Amino acid sequence: MIHVFLLFSLCFSDYGLIQGVTSLGINYGQVGNNLPPPDKVLDLLTALKLSKARIYDTNPQVLTTFANSNIELIVTVENQMLPVVMDPQQALQWVSTHIKPYFPATKITGIAVGNEIFTDDDTSLLGYLVPAIVSIHGALVQLGLDKYIQVSTPNSLAVLEVSYPPSAGSFKGEVSGVMSQFLQFLSSTGSPFWINAYPYFAYKDSPDKISLDYALFNKNPGMVDPYTKLHYDNMLYAQVDAVVYAMSRLGYGGIEVRVSETGWPSKGDSNEVGATVQNAAVYNRNLLRRQMSNEGTPLRPNMRLEVYLFALFNEDMKPGPTSERNYGLFQPDGTMAYNVGLSALATSSSTSSASISLTSSATKASKVEYQSLVYCMFLYLLTFQGFMRRQH
């Protein structure tokens, strides 16, 4: 039987609701055989006050379910489709089939053309990337949707040849030609550069050289870029600014960088140093705090950094090391993998929205009664805990 849980994150943390944080999104991956249906996922996102999500396809069930909701959605053209949609007519057909029927009821705000193509093992895909992006954008223009939907492609940080110090950031030479064409497109259309940035990977590979506190956003001395004298107190912001400098070296200094993926695994194999529940909770909790402040990076302090957490759920069918299946904030049954500070406690007066359940077997009335009971029990335990502390 699927458990029914209140998400008490607000009560367990000092961050409160994330309502009003416009720069935070979440990646909703679906590589699992035990994930809740899209309507329950929508309920969860709504309860968490998250208004931005990214999916890795154009799942019609998700697009239909998310209609008339407050969720802004980034969808994806899968890697294997790039050779097809590089043809303008095929791109028009793709947009007409996968986007137009759902828009504007479903708030599709972005199309990711492929994922990490610049560093994909199939190097033949790189030649298709820019033509596919141009064709998809051209289809949006033809259908009058380009003013509402941006087109870009998420990139692995491995696309950089140098990332430290940030001001030395530069792209790998073998991709610089296609990268220049891509950046020209972004510049001409006002679209963002999406980067998948994981300080975890850097720490895992060099735990003796990289400060864990620096990677986790904890208090630490940080580092000062010797050339710009900018101070960095966390690795993610340094990685983002390295991308900005890399683009500037190719003549494109005005493009916005957004983090399309970042996260920390809560479990890993024996050789995956740092993949623990504690570190995952600290990383995402600290990142959430930064997002609530609408921070920018040291290089662009006045431009809030848009970030999409990876991921909403642990996905049991993802290949690779154990960590790949343990990036989720939640288990498939809706229980928290760890407390990150997101709250599903409602701010409205409607008690029926006070919690999120991933089962629909109970009636609304019984849910309300159950939620009220559990909430009262929680307040009692909290009060009792405070009383016990005063006794010591």
Helix axes 88-98, 126-142, angle to 10 degrees: 60
Sorted by sequence, the CB contacts under 8 Å of residue 13 that are 6+ apart come out as 285, 339, 341
Annotated catalytic, 261? yes
Q: Which residue among 261, 272, 306, 315 is the active-site one? A: 261
Sorted by sequence, the CB contacts under 8 Å of residue 245 that are 6+ apart come out as 166, 167, 168, 169, 170, 299
Q: Which residue among 116, 272, 306, 315 is the active-site one? A: 116
Q: What is the rounded distance in angstroms from the CA atom of residue 92 to the CA atom of residue 85?
A: 8
What secondary structure does DSSP assign to 10-26, as a single string?
A: HHHSS----TT-TTEEE
**Rounded to 5°, angle at Cα 317 from 314 and 323:** 50
Helix axes 126-142, 176-189, angle to 10 degrees: 10
Backbone angles phi, psi at 224, to 5 degrees: -110, 125
Tokens of 125: 């895909």
**Rounded to 5°, angle at Cα 125 from 123 and 129:** 130
DSSP 3-state of 130: helix
Annotated catalytic, 295? no
Which residues are marked as active site? 116, 261
